[in-house]
Amino acid sequence: MGLFAWLTRRISPQPIAVHYGSDVVRFMQIKNKKNRIIQGAVEVAPDDSAGISEALTSFKGSRCVVCLSPKDALVQHIRTELNEEEEHIRDRLIEHDGRWGNAEIRYVCVKTTGSGISVGQELLCVGVDRALSARVMSTLEAAGARVIAVTVPVYASIRAFDSLYRRDGDEIITSMLIDMDERMSMVMISHGANCVFAHSVKSCTSKTEEMWEPEQRKEPSLLPISNSERHEDGRHLEDDPMGLRGIHGGSAVEESKFVEELKRCLRHHDTLFPDRTIDRIIFTGYGALDTQKCASIASEFGISGYIADPSAWITGAAEIAGGPSWTTTAGLCLRYAEMAA
């Protein structure tokens, strides 16, 4: 690295994290990676161009890293030959959704399948429509930003989890992460920090006026919403989970559909990795403010459930960016933060 580049990185403000939800855009910036002190955080409506411009002026610098909403991310699992050409893979993806035709795509091999001459692979394909990405960049740059990276919740949420909550030994833990956006949820399953499954599901969230009250603790961690014991087959059994309530009223059908989609995700994972059972479910996003609903979902599977509160890890964030809605935004901050010399 040249002297000029080194000096620039040292004196430049940290990048501004911009997280597009379905109904709101969240901005966050930290002062430095080492101390994790918040510079600022604000929410703006996605169609409020004046508000976006005003929000950007409240931060230092103009560099931004952007995460698009779950509803704008393309995610698909497919099985292919081991050395199948990308053009053929794209054609197969287009059969599922025409938007793959103009998408920037990343391929992750989550498992090799078969043996001998019939060996193949299971691919996790993640994409973003180029036109959509260009529109988001244009909107931000018109407001004075300089976009240096665009990503999607599959990567941002896993990075958030990896940066905030991993501990020694977590590589042997299998986690289901559910990023519950206002309209769509991204369901991810990771072995340690390695994402091996992802799927987008229509959210079962509802508008809530509930305020987030973070727990005061010396060693910040995930906030448990249920407790469990292991069954003989390795699954978990609930032991009086906190906040557990049955499904009532108008949300019953919608939530039942959501749970059924999660069961499909679990069956897909179990088919690929029959020796890896899910150890915990971690809820993030706007929908995770409804802790009782999250506890009910975790209890349905008999798995320990947790609500992620990233503000416990960023000094000064509890008052302005507390609760699970900010998990992905905080993950972006920490993932792209540059260590001051």
At 258-269, the pLDDT tens digits run 999 999 999 999
Residue 36 near residue 30, CB atoms below 8 Å: yes
pLDDT, average across residues 135-139: 94
Task: Give residue 207's pLDDT.
Answer: 57
16 or 257: whose pLDDT is higher? 16
Choose among 205, 204, 187: nearest CA to 196: 187
Lowest-confidence segment of 78-92, 127-141, 213-227 by average pLDDT: 213-227
Lowest-confidence segment of 81-85, 101-105, 203-207 by average pLDDT: 203-207
In whole angstroms, how far apart are CA 71 and each of 75, 202, 250? Answer: 10, 9, 23
Residue 189 near residue 265, CB atoms below 8 Å: yes
What is the CATH code for 73-127?
A: 3.30.1490
pLDDT, average across residues 78-89: 90
Choose among 308, 338, 306: nearest CA to 326: 308
At 106-126, the pLDDT tens digits run 888 888 887 777 788 999 999
pLDDT at 171 over 60: yes
Mention every residue, 6+ apart, whose C-beta is less than 8 A from residue 4.
none
- Spatial distance between the Cα atoms of 221 and 224, rounded to a whole number of angstroms: 9
pLDDT at 165 over 60: no
Task: Give residue 219's pLDDT.
Answer: 44
- Spatial distance between the Cα atoms of 122 and 241, rounded to a whole number of angstroms: 36
- Residue 216: how many CB atoms within 10 A of its CB? 8
Q: Is 271 helix (H, G, I), strand (E, B) or coil?
A: helix
At 232-252, the pLDDT tens digits run 444 444 443 322 222 233 344
49 or 220: whose pLDDT is higher? 49
pLDDT, average across residues 165-190: 80
Mention every residue, 6+ apart, whose C-beta is less than 8 A from residue 153.
67, 68, 69, 70, 73, 179, 181, 186, 328
pLDDT, average across residues 81-105: 92
Task: Give residue 248's pLDDT.
Answer: 34
This prediction has a pTM of: 0.81
Q: Is 314 helix (H, G, I), strand (E, B) or coil?
A: coil
Task: Give residue 137's pLDDT.
Answer: 94
Confidence grade of residue 322 (pLDDT, cut at 50, 70, 90): confident
- Spatial distance between the Cα atoms of 143 and 140, rounded to a whole number of angstroms: 5
Confidence grade of residue 197 (pLDDT, cut at 50, 70, 90): very high
Tokens of 279: 């150890």
Tokens of 19: 């997280």
Task: Give residue 211's pLDDT.
Answer: 52
- Spatial distance between the Cα atoms of 196 and 109, rounded to a whole number of angstroms: 8
pLDDT at 25 over 60: yes
At 153-163, the pLDDT tens digits run 776 666 665 55
Residue found by looking up tokens 């010399």 in the block: 341
Q: What angle do CA 182, 187, 189 make, to 5 degrees?
A: 155
Choose among 230, 222, 221, 225: nearest CA to 241: 225
pLDDT at 183 over 90: no
Task: Give residue 228's pLDDT.
Answer: 52
Superfamily of domain 3-71+131-336: ATPase, nucleotide binding domain (3.30.420.40)
Instruction: Name, of 37-51, 281-295, 321-335, the range with top average pLDDT.
Output: 37-51
Which segments of the chain belong to CATH 3.30.1490? 73-127
Task: Give residue 341's pLDDT.
Answer: 32
Which segments of the chain belong to CATH 3.30.420.40? 3-71+131-336
Choose among 179, 166, 148: nearest CA to 221: 166
- Spatial distance between the Cα atoms of 207 and 289, rounded to a whole number of angstroms: 10
Q: How far apart are the first and last CA of the chain?
A: 14
In whole angstroms, how far apart are CA 199 and each of 167, 187, 222, 238, 265? Answer: 25, 5, 23, 26, 7
Task: Give residue 142's pLDDT.
Answer: 95
